[in-house]
Chains A and B, each alone.
Chain A
Amino acid sequence: MRLELVPRGDVSPWARALAPVAAVVAAILIGGLVVALMGRSPLAAFQVYFVDTLSEDWGLQEMAVKATPLLIIAVGLSFCFRASLWNIGAEGQFIIGALVGGILPLYTAGTEAGAWVIPAAMVLGALGGLAYAMIPALLRVAFGVSEILTSLMLVYVADLTLDYLVRGPWKDPKGFNFPQTVNFDATLPYLAEGGRLHAGVLVGPALALLAWFVISRTLFGFGVRVAGEAPKAARFAGFSANRMVIAAFAISGAAAGLAGIVEVLGQIGQLKPGISSGYGFTAITVAFLGRLHPLGMIFGALVVALTVIGGESAQIALKLPLDLTRAFQGVLLMCVLAADALVSYRVRLVTVARA
């Protein structure tokens, strides 16, 4: 007995559009089952996880704030993933972006430096992430080293570099020996008085729109798609594979670095360990939840942000472990991938009578 996937042929666009919705519903049902098995009420969990966050103003604002770094990173990563390049080191590029971008606000803290520091820091942050992403890209182009290994290993290097700086040379002298820098003066302004929304929240959707334009309208975006789709056809089209590696890593590194400095300037206001809490990895989920489509990733980032906030509330209200949230994100991704597969293929059970 074995299972076979049989192509369905033409699939209606409606089925494709509804697949992620069905996936979210399926994931919620599975999550509810797990909650029930843990002896809590699935309805109460649903209330805490989704309804509370979505029905209150602070919840929605928090969602947008949490979704911002995820979306910025995912939009960048989608260029790599579309070109079949596996940059899984966005976490490291995020941290280096925060570090490099943090230099200016760090050294101008307490001085009369003007508002120019903020845009300059954002540019530096993007360049920092870009430069850091060039390490796996150039190693791949020059020596054929797998970018999966190098980009992942460089995450730990970045993490420990941040650790060293905030415990050593960059430590706030008046910070009671906490591993953190001084509070920056240059931070992103809030969009509304008393709210949680900082100006960086606008960066994500703006980048998503830009990415959508680049992917669907420009020759470069076309090259990215062809490179992932059919490498030999890309070569036939005259698109250099090496240039594509450099460009895709440059974009995703710059985006991750930008996300890092936006998070620091918008949310945290200083450098300290744990500025990321795994955004660079979670963004991979976001990218595939949105099927690498820039607009789909906006949806993906919001859904994942919702589970993070809901998970924190559930921890407090229902004493559910935070690991459940991570497991739920995993279940969600599996459901989305499965829904995509089931839209394109029919599962057939083949029973083979054996003598």
Chain B
Amino acid sequence: MARSLDPQGQAGAPPLVSLRGIVKRFGELTANDGVDLDIRAGEIHALLGENGAGKSTLVKILFGLLQPNEGEIRWQGRPITLSSPEDAGRLGIGMVFQHFSLFDNLTVAENIAVALPRSESRRSVARRIGEVGQRYGLALEPERPVWTLSAGERQRIEIVRALLREPKLLILDEPTSVLTPQEADTLFLTLEKLASTGCGLLYITHRLEEVKRLCTGATVMRAGKVVAACDPRVESVRRLASLMVGSEVTEVRAAPAHQLGPVRFELRQLSLAPEDVHGVPLRGVDLAVRGGEIVGVAGVAGNGQAELFAAMSGERLAEGPDAVVIDGRPVGREDIDARRRRQAAFVPEERNGHAAAPNLTLSENVVLSRHATGGVAKGGLIDSRAAAAVAAEVIRVFDVRKGRADPPAGTLSGGNLQKFVVGREILREPGVLVVNQPTWGVDAGAAATIRQALVDLAARGAAVVVISQDLDEIFAIADRIAVIHDGRLSATHPAREIDREKIGLLMAGSAEEHPHAA
């Protein structure tokens, strides 16, 4: 891929920004330990690392949200202090956050105007949105209310908002996590165009394929330190991954050949109105999962995944008993505990606050999802010794790393807590398991453990549904794949027979297909 400004070509000029020996401590934890980082003008620089490696801390320092305890920041060779995001903005540092900060009920133009100086007229804002949109291929309708937009469009607002302030350095935090493959391709073109104008880009991600494709420099962090600075175009994905996790990454072992059993989990024309105005209704969802197989549900975030999970798990009841069937029993009107007693288990997307209560200990969090199925509670009383034993078993089998003996769930790192909440369900040996985003924001090592456990569970005869935005994950473990778009679920396709492009089209809702056709 040709670029007009190659970082190697201007080695003489000082880097756009350079961090030297950055140290940031939170109490006893050293989140950044002597970090060096250089970003040159016109460069797309990847910042790689597992969760908890210190990437977010470093970025917050660079954006003025945190102040380092030690170290120096140089901007075009001059030492500077960044004491607030306004300081960073004045120098020309912009940021696109992973989680959008948009007002749902305001229009695109209004959302962008709030970030600009008040003196600028609404008309001039709208005009500039058009200009920037045209220059970088970021089409937006200024008068559309934000809640009507897809995640990709929302992200465009964030990017346009940053671009209108004419940044010299743009930081992007996991920008593709909410995009379809096609939307991601469009984003890459925009970013390349932007780099060619001399803007430096810091690209934070854990998707190594993207890094290889897009970035011209990479800094890899592990446990608060920089472990490598390299050219991702010449490194293999496997090598980048092993730099990140500190050991060779194990890929998911295919399950030993096994016979598929009867259908254990079924949705029949499941429809459900949304709980609030911005929710997505489920529209006639059909799905049948046999024992021994994993069905992956792909889709762009916000297309009904949360609603589908709530309806599958019984957190919300279906309108009729036949809409959800477990092992031949209609359970649509049974609540989540009743479904658990029928050997079903569930892992919601949000670790902290949904799958686990952050201020309760791990053993108390065992009671959370296990109290109905026996062992940890009897006659309304909690058996804390039994709960502690289950917690210890989960911790041992799933290698959950933690500080104290029975710490509050919220003190665990993302990956370790996720291993815990998945392990808590899998050790019950459920007949049906529904998991929403099993490895979202989880480090590569934990993700591998979780995926392997899902594959092994299916091999032992369970019906497993994995709802995921991560196509790599779905292709790695699913036997069949369906796509959810706007509350409708496509027919399933054998994973071997469908390619990314087809899935991408389904995710964008552009392929006309009747669920019963395939």
Contacts and interface: CB of A to CB of B under 8 A. Distances in A.
Q: Are chains A and B native binding partners rather than an unrelated pairing?
A: yes
Contact of A236 (B81, B355, B359, B360): B355
A222 B383 CA distance: 12
A202 to B, nearest CB: 25
Interface in A214-246: 217-220, 222, 225-226, 229-230, 232-238, 240
A210 to B, nearest CB: 14
B488 interface: no
Contacts of A220: 380
B372 A238 contact: yes
Nearest to A237: B368
Interface string A236-279: 11101000000000000000000000000000000000000000
B335 A238 contact: yes
B83 A229 contact: no
Contacts of B381: 217-219
Contacts of A222: 364, 367, 371, 382
Contacts of A234: 357
B354 A230 contact: yes
Contacts, number: 81
Interface string B295-319: 0000000000000000001010000
B353 A232 contact: yes
Interface stretch (B26-34, B140-148, B157-165, B474-482): B26-34
Given A218-B380, A238-B337, A233 B357 contact: yes
Contacts of B29: 9
A110 interface: no
B348 interface: yes
Contact of A226 (B360, B372, B377): B360
A233 B28 CA distance: 30
Interface residues of B, number: 36
Contacts of B190: none
A63 B350 CA distance: 48
Contacts of A8: 27
A235 to B, nearest CB: 5
B336 interface: yes
B271 interface: no
Interface in A31-82: none
A238 B83 CA distance: 46
Nearest to A227: B357
B343 interface: no
Among A219, A225, A240, the one with the most B-chain Cβ atoms within 10 Å of its Cβ is A219
Nearest to A231: B353
Interface string B147-159: 0000000000000
Contacts of B356: 230, 233
Interface string B174-214: 00000000000000000000000000000000000000000
A225 B348 CA distance: 20
Among B337, B354, B377, the one with the most A-chain Cβ atoms within 10 Å of its Cβ is B354
Given A9-B27, A218-B382, A352-B84, A233 B368 contact: yes
A195 interface: no
A237 B371 CA distance: 8
A7 interface: yes
Contacts of B313: 236
A234 B364 CA distance: 12
B380 A219 contact: yes
A350 B65 CA distance: 12
A192 interface: no
Contacts of B219: none
Contacts of B490: none
Given A217-B382, A230-B354, A237-B368, A7 B27 contact: yes
Contacts of A225: 357, 360
Contact of A230 (B28, B83, B353, B369): B353
A353 B86 CA distance: 12
A240 B337 CA distance: 11
Nearest to A229: B357
B358 interface: yes
B348 A236 contact: yes
Contact of A233 (B340, B354, B382, B384): B354
Given A219-B371, A222-B364, A237-B369, A232 B336 contact: no
Interface in A313-333: none
A232 B382 contact: no
B382 A9 contact: no
Given A9-B26, A218-B381, A219-B371, A226 B337 contact: no
Contacts of A350: 67, 83
A235 B353 contact: no
Contact of A229 (B27, B28, B359, B377): B359
A236 B315 contact: yes
Interface in A1-26: 6-10
Given A217-B381, A230-B358, A236-B348, A353 B371 contact: no
Contacts of B26: 6-7, 9
B377 A219 contact: yes
Contacts of B357: 225-226, 229-230, 233-234
A230 B358 CA distance: 8
B7 to A, nearest CB: 31
A48 B27 CA distance: 44
Given A9-B26, A217-B382, A235 B84 contact: no
Contacts of A353: 81, 83
Which 10 A-B pairs rank lowest in CB-CB distance, beginning with the nearest?
A238-B337, A9-B27, A230-B357, A232-B354, A233-B357, A230-B353, A237-B368, A352-B83, A238-B336, A229-B357
Interface of B: 26-29, 67, 81, 83-84, 313, 315, 335-337, 340, 346, 348, 350, 353-360, 364, 367-369, 371-372, 377, 380-382, 384
16 contacts: A10-B27, A217-B381, A217-B384, A218-B381, A220-B380, A222-B367, A225-B360, A229-B358, A233-B356, A233-B357, A233-B368, A236-B315, A238-B335, A238-B340, A350-B67, A353-B83
Given A219-B377, A237-B371, A238-B337, 9 more contacts: A7-B26, A7-B27, A8-B27, A10-B27, A222-B367, A230-B359, A236-B313, A236-B315, A238-B340
